[in-house]
Structure 1
Amino acid sequence: MNISLRSKAQLPLLAALAGCASPPPVPVEERSTVAVKEAVAPTPAPAPPPSLTLDAYKANVARHILDRNADRSFSGRLPPMLPAVVVVSITVDRDGQLTDVQVQRSRDPDASRVALASMLRSGPLPRPHGLLAANSKAITFSETFLFDRDYRFQLRSLAGPQ
């Protein structure tokens, strides 16, 4: 900080103002009560988790499903022709409990069974913080299971290009 003084008459004024910058010292007999007051100050409540977008929540759920079904999933590039694609409708309550899972689209009953079983193994799902309206009890969204020929899957919310 650069300060220039134009006259010596300003020095007493600056000295007086500089003394205003710091609080007065606490007398010795009051120091112990100040320390006690600071020690028992209530800790603030933890902040609620940030609200998610639906796409961010779906990606979070997809990672959760893959973690719970690591032996039934695969990573890497998708095959050029997918032998099976299953779209499921997922309903989750405020606590992340699955309240409904239904196959919306599938041409392969075996792949449908794998998708439904994988969903059931995955519960409870992450909580949908910030996505439910105040009077809403659950949220419903879709996820697409992309299968290889061995009935292992990737989830569309996380899969790369085909």
Structure 2
Amino acid sequence: MQTRILTLLAVAMLAGCATRNADTPVDRSARKPGQVEKVATYPDATSTENTVDGYKRDLAQRISQVNSTKVYTGRPQALLRSVIVVRYAVDASGQLVRSEIMRSNRDKENEATALASLRTAAPFPKPAAHLIRHGKLELSETWLFNNDGRFQLRTIAQPQMDQ
């Protein structure tokens, strides 16, 4: 019985990683392909987002804006060159305090690009105080790399092509 409960909990946790928070719908039709909303570019900015998902969207837009020459527009190709997952932490003032590769196909060039694009975009707007735990906010983001080495961030990317 206990094994079954643990299995169900694990399945529920994995399913939660792949779904959006129902409180934060995204209307992609209002944004043109490749268009990025502006995020404050100065370190004293405070995010107006009150949810982790909203703050994560703000950061994804900022990373894309700051690294616009490395970002592709339109839908991600069907078979991506690399998918890199980075876990990172932001402190209460919006400073990047840690980043690490969590998942990769061992494409060192794209891993370096993902980490560098995150560092280049910092500092970030201050997260809402209630999002901070133990002095920081832990987040993860997925970089989707096309064959040409440019990327999109899964949080704000369009649906991937079928073929």
TM-score in terms of structure 1 length: 0.66
Query: For residues 4-153 of structure 1, what are the structure 2 equivalents within 5 Å?
Result: 50=48, 52-107=50-105, 108-133=107-132, 136-153=134-151
Residue by residue over 1:13-43, the C-alpha shift from the partner in whole angstroms, topping out at 9 and shown as x without a partner, is xxxxxxxxxxxxxxxxxxxxxxxxxxxxxxx
Equivalent position SS for 1:159: coil
Q: How many residues align?
A: 114
**Kept after mapping to 2: 8 A contact 1:51/1:130:** no
**Kept after mapping to 2: 8 A contact 1:54/1:131:** no
Determine the C-alpha separation between the residues in 2 that align with 1:75 and 1:131. 34
Per the TM alignment, residue 136 of structure 1 is displaced from its structure 2 partner at its CA by: 2.7
**Kept after mapping to 1: 8 A contact 2:49/2:55:** no
Code of the aligned partner of 1:90: Y
Determine the C-alpha separation between the residues in 2 that align with 1:95 and 1:55. 18
Query: Which one has the largest radius of gyration?
Result: 1
Q: What is the identity percentage for the equivalent residue pairs of Structure 1 and Structure 2?
A: 38
**Kept after mapping to 1: 8 A contact 2:47/2:55:** no
Per the TM alignment, residue 147 of structure 1 is displaced from its structure 2 partner at its CA by: 0.4
Quote the residue 1:30 is aligned against.
Answer: none
Q: Which blocks of at least 5 consecutive residues in structure 2 are unaligned? A: 1-45
**Kept after mapping to 2: 8 A contact 1:91/1:99:** yes
Change (3 A) 1:65 1:50: closer
**Kept after mapping to 2: 8 A contact 1:88/1:102:** yes
Change (3 A) 1:71 1:95: same
Determine the C-alpha separation between the residues in 2 that align with 1:51 and 1:69. 22
Equivalent position SS for 2:131: coil
Change (3 A) 1:89 1:49: closer
Per the TM alignment, residue 75 of structure 1 is displaced from its structure 2 partner at its CA by: 1.4
Code of the aligned partner of 2:80: L
Code of the aligned partner of 1:53: T
Change (3 A) 1:156 1:49: closer
RMSD across aligned C-alpha pairs, in angstroms? 1.7
TM-score in terms of structure 2 length: 0.66
Code of the aligned partner of 2:88: I
